Amino acid sequence: MPASKSPTPRRTHWKRVVLWCLGLGAAAVVCGALIIGVTTALVLRELPDVSTLSNYQPKLPLRIYTADGVPIGEFGEERRRLMRFDAIPRAMKDAVLAAEDSRFYQHGGVDLQGVLRAVWADLGGKRQGASTITMQVARNVYLSSEQTFKRKFYELLLTTRLEDQLTKDQIFEIYLNQIYLGNRAYGFAAACQTYFGKPLEQITVAEAAMLAGLPKAPSANNPLANPKRARSRQQWIIGRMEELGYITPEEATQARAEPLRLRDAADPKALHAEYVAEAVRQQIVAQFGDSAYTRGLNVYTTLTSADQQAAYAALRKGVMDYEQRQPYRGPEVRVELPAGGDALDDAVDSVLADHPDDGELIAAVVTQASDKKVSALRANGDAIEISGNGLRLVRSALAAKAPAALRISRGSVIRLLPGAKDSWSITQMPEVEGAFVSMDPRDGSIRSLVGGFDFGQNKFNHVTQAWRQPGSSFKPFIYSAALDKGFMTTTMINDAPLHFDSAATGGAPWDPKNYEGTFEGPMTLRAGLTHSKNLVTIRILDAIGVKYAQDWITRFGFEADKNPAYLTMALGSGAVTPMQMATAYSVFANGGYRVAPILVRRITDNDGQVLMEAAPATLDESNRAISARNAFLTSSLLHSVVRNGTGSKAYAALKRDDLYGKTGTTNDSFDAWFTGFQPTRVAVAWVGYDTPRRLGTRGETGASAALPIWIDYMRAALSGVPVEKEKPAPGLIQQDGEWYYDDFTPGYGVASVGIDNDLTPLTDGSAGVPPEAVPQERSRILDLFR
């Protein structure tokens, strides 16, 4: 029997190789599994505790509102408004699901169907993402956006952990509040306010679909920057919502056709309260530190949106009207323009990028100019023609012999103001500044505050920071001091020339004049203020004593050291702010009480818990500044100013018999003021240059530059407010249309002052005249001047 053959060396070798390979493969699998297991265990130990997201609290900005809830400011790195899941509209949730993850409530965090679709699309040359909402939450909350294996691995592990520890609604809520949506807006509530200027609760299906298109590409799909692309994405999402049954075909048709009203930050009708927002920001940061920017504080001011809108519009109009009375200073810049076509459009876009519209002040580039007509292009491509009265300001700049610096020609950048019936007029960016503030004298609530013409151009708050000479608007406080000394509204004062040496003025010798340059002789104290007679006020101040007057004005909130005790104080040569003037005039308006201005009424946290609430000021004897009789008599004088004097334009325009106020024009017309009130509202308007100089070539007055602003505001603020009847203070009696103290205080009574021009008060037996003898005494005093 033949011996059996042993395996050949070749066959034995291959068996061994196969066995070795199988063994190595098994070992590799085991080692790989061990490595993956150990790595995963180590990574899981490093991953954050996602259970904290069950009480999701992102960084929330500081938000500032008017008293009636209109937002006026937001400060923080991120614009965000936290909304709980149940409060988010169904349309917004459905639009996001349709756009980002329609199987969100079916998958466990990683959508295998979505992954397969993405792979298939990639094979077909179309890139498609497969990130679920949960994966995006993991990435946006904890990870960076870098495209590395490590980051992807972390993302998958975090996704699993999120799905394990949070409910689907909790994950979805985080996504809806966390995702970046362009324009510094995080979350859909903030985006709705940013793009549409309204709360998310009011969103429509069409608007929800527009916002749902932003997570994929916040810049490219931004409706403000790329409306065509944003519209295309929106239409696709509406189709997906219909396909998934979230909306009916009829609702889809309506949504596709709905015109979108995007928010325009430059809209002149938008509420502008930038100076208020900045002032409040500084106050809140001083109180809460840097955490104010992240803890979601809501600050409610005392402003009312209607008052603020009226104040802003009035100040802007007043300043622009002033500019129309000034010489034209020339185009903002000149550029060379191509003949036409796309090159012309590109050139216009390029130059206007550096000269954007400023509210109602529209920037445009001139394409053709003659003395009869100017043609120009706006940044939005609109072609505009200006002719007739629209060229009034620039007629000299259109003349053939106009200086090169002034000439308007092709390539000139100009400013336009829209008018009635699609008309336009050429204007210019103002160099002059202005300020306006109003408050309720009964409790100190600031109702409006506009610190300058344009916050973007000049952030200096002229209401609170500008120390300016008040001019004649300061005179009522001198008259109030005189009334306290015993003067009456019928006291006779001589309006005649005066001369003072340097000792009396604290400076150079002084020969004061009235604004008109004329003198009218003896007149009553009332007539002196009604017609703003400088010589009368100076005589009164000298009679009562400058130190007494300096002490008296501190009752109204003025600072003594900023109003030196010299006779020039009679003409408002000291320094005040518009806010001080509003506070001071409130004393006359409310019957003699000094109330501190209040700008912040309430502060809450993001959950609505009240952290601080300021109680309105009350009018009681603890804050009395002057007697009720003094306040009434001074107000009576201010009423005469509006009815018959330098403020008569107010009465003519508003036709109300409860208006009080005083114009103010400083020396050389550097500052123009009007400060006045109705018993429920005190308002101050100021116009001037930051570097003081003459207001206009011919000089402007408080009546011409500031009073129109005050009138425009009051017309809106007092609309529907009943006219308040005069309420005399106790302790006064009326005789021949004038008011007198019923207990006559020793002093000047109805005496005359300054008859002999030496400023010596002449009492000559007339001081302290009983009321019943006043008519005869007035006649006797008048006889002295005959």
Tens digits of per-residue pLDDT, 553-585? 999 999 999 999 999 999 999 999 999 999 999
How many CA atoms lie within 13 Å of 325's alpha carbon, on the beta-carbon side? 15
CATH code 3.40.50.1820 for 88-260: no
Mean per-residue pLDDT, 218-247? 90
pLDDT at 24: 62
- Helical residues (DSSP H) of 70-148, grouped into ranges: 90-100, 112-123, 133-142
Q: Average pLDDT for residues 686-699, to the nearest whole number?
A: 89
Which pLDDT band holds residue 510 (cuts at 50, 70, 90)? confident
Q: How many CB atoms lie within 10 A of CB 343?
A: 11
The torsion defined by the Cα of 8, 12, 15 and 16, in degrees rounded to 10, comes to -160
Q: What is the pLDDT of residue 142?
A: 66
Greater confidence (229 vs 573) lies with 573
* Among 147-156, 183-192, 371-380, 385-394, the least confident range: 147-156
Based on its alpha-carbon atoms, the radius of gyration of the chain, rounded to whole angstroms, reads: 37
Calculate mean pLDDT across residues 745-753: 50
Contact by Cβ (8 Å): 438, 718? no
Q: Taking 90 as the threshold, does the pLDDT of residue 716 lie above it?
A: yes
Q: Which helix (H) or strand (E) holds 75?
A: strand 71-75
The pLDDT, as a whole number, for residue 776 is 52
Q: How confident is the model at residue 163 (pLDDT cuts 50, 70, 90)?
A: confident
Range from 56-65, 366-375, 456-465, 531-540 carrying the lowest mean pLDDT: 56-65
Report pLDDT for 762.
Answer: 35
CB 490 within 8 A of CB 526: yes
Nearest to 541 by CA among 530, 529, 556: 529
Give 156-190 as a DSSP string.
HHHHHHHHHHS-HHHHHHHHHHH-B-STTEESHHH
Q: Are strands 600-604 and 521-524 parallel, antiparallel or unpaired?
A: unpaired
Q: Residue 504 is encoded by which pair of tokens? A: 């009396």
What value does the mean pLDDT take over residues 69-92? Answer: 89
To the query of whether residue 258 is one of the catalytic residues in this protein, the response is no
Structure confidence at residue 53 (pLDDT): 60
Lowest-confidence pick of 267-281, 291-305, 446-460, 735-749: 735-749
Give residues with Cβ within 8 angstroms of 642, minimum separation 6. Answer: 648, 650, 651, 659, 660, 661, 676
How does DSSP assign 616-683, residue by residue?
PP--SGGGB-S-HHHHHHHHHHHHHHHHHSTTHHHHHHH--SS-EEEEEE-GGG-EEEEEEEETTEEE
Q: Are 95 and 212 in contact (CB under 8 A)?
A: yes
- Please state, in angstroms and rounded to a whole number, the distance separating the CA atoms of residues 42 and 434: 65
Structure tokens of 600?
Answer: 């912040």
pLDDT at position 204 over 80 = yes
Can you give the pLDDT at residue 500? 83
* Cα distance between residue 513 and residue 534, in whole Å: 7
Rounded Cα–Cα distance for residues 772 and 776 (Å): 9
Amino acid identity for residue 366 in this structure: V
Report domain extents, the chain: 88-260, 329-427, 437-602+610-780
In whole angstroms, give the CA distance from residue 549 to residue 553: 6
**Fold observed for domain 329-427:** OB fold (Dihydrolipoamide Acetyltransferase, E2P) (2.40.50)
In the prediction, which pLDDT does 263 show? 78
Q: Beta 752-753 vs 492-495: how paired, if at all?
A: parallel
Q: Give the list of residues 6+ apart from residue 613 with CB closer than 8 angstroms, or none.
A: 601, 602, 603
Among 78, 100, 242, 738, the active-site one is 100
Residue 26, pLDDT score: 61
Collect all residues with Cβ–Cβ distance below 8 Å to 506 and sequence separation of at least 6. 564, 566, 568
237: pLDDT confidence band, cut at 50, 70 and 90?
very high
The catalytic residue among 131, 438, 472, 532 is: 472
Q: Which residues of 259-286 are buried (b: 16+ CB within 10 A; e: fewer)?
A: ebeebeeeeeeebbbbbbbbbbbeebee
The region of weakest confidence among 266-270, 303-307, 412-416 is: 266-270
The whole-number pLDDT of residue 783 equals 45
**pLDDT recorded at residue 768:** 40
Given this model, what pLDDT does residue 778 score? 46
Range 108-129 average pLDDT = 59
pLDDT for position 389: 92
Position 11 scores a pLDDT of: 55
Q: How confident is the model at residue 781 (pLDDT cuts 50, 70, 90)?
A: very low
Residue 774 has pLDDT above 70, yes or no: no
CA-CA distance, 110 to 100, in Å (whole number)? 13
Give the contacts of 293 (CB within 8 A, at least 6 positions apart): 59, 61, 62, 75, 76, 77, 285
Task: State the pLDDT confidence band at 343, using cuts at 50, 70 and 90.
Answer: confident
Q: State both tokens at 71.
A: 């937002």
Q: What does the pLDDT average to over 598-610? A: 94
pLDDT over 60 at 629, yes or no: yes
Is residue 750 predicted with pLDDT exceeding 50?
no
Nearest to residue 132, comparing CAs of 117, 120, 147?
A: 117
Is residue 323 annotated as a catalytic residue, yes or no? no
The stretch 15-38 carries a mean pLDDT of 56
pLDDT-based confidence at 278, cuts 50/70/90? very high
Bridge-based pairing state of the strands 298-301 and 600-604: antiparallel
178: left (phi over 0), alpha (psi -120 to 50) or beta: alpha
Of 728 and 118, the structure prediction assigns the larger pLDDT to 728
In this prediction, residues 3-23 reach a mean pLDDT of 56
| Structural contact between residues 200 and 188, judged by C-beta atoms closer than 8 angstroms | yes
Residue 558: its pLDDT value, please?
98
pLDDT at residue 189 tops 90: yes
**Pseudo-torsion of CA 718, 723, 725, 727, nearest 10°?**
-10
Q: Which residue has the tokens 């008040």?
A: 470
What are the pLDDT digits (tens) for 528-543?
999 999 999 999 999 9
| Start-to-end Cα distance in the chain | 172
Helix, strand or coil for residue 267? Answer: coil
b (16+ CB within 10 A) / e for 596-624: ebbbbbbbbebeeeeeeeeeebebeeebb
> Do the first three CATH levels of 329-427 and 437-602+610-780 match, i.e. the same topology?
no
Sign of the torsion formed by the C-alpha atoms of 80, 86, 87 and 92: positive
Which residue stretches of 354-474 are H helix? 395-398, 462-465
Q: Is the pTM higher than 0.75?
A: yes
Mean pLDDT of the residues in the chain: 85
54 vs 380, residue with greater confidence:
380
Q: How confident is the model at residue 217 (pLDDT cuts 50, 70, 90)?
A: confident
Class of domain 437-602+610-780: alpha beta
pLDDT score of 746:
45
**Within 10 Å of residue 197's Cβ, how many Cβ atoms?**
16
Q: Worst-scoring range by mean pLDDT, 8-12, 244-248, 277-281, 603-607?
A: 8-12
Say how many residues make up the chain: 786
Q: Which of 135-144, 389-398, 489-498 has the lowest mean pLDDT?
A: 135-144
How far is the C-alpha of 200 from the C-alpha of 211, rounded, in Å? Answer: 11
% of the chain at pLDDT higher than 90 = 61
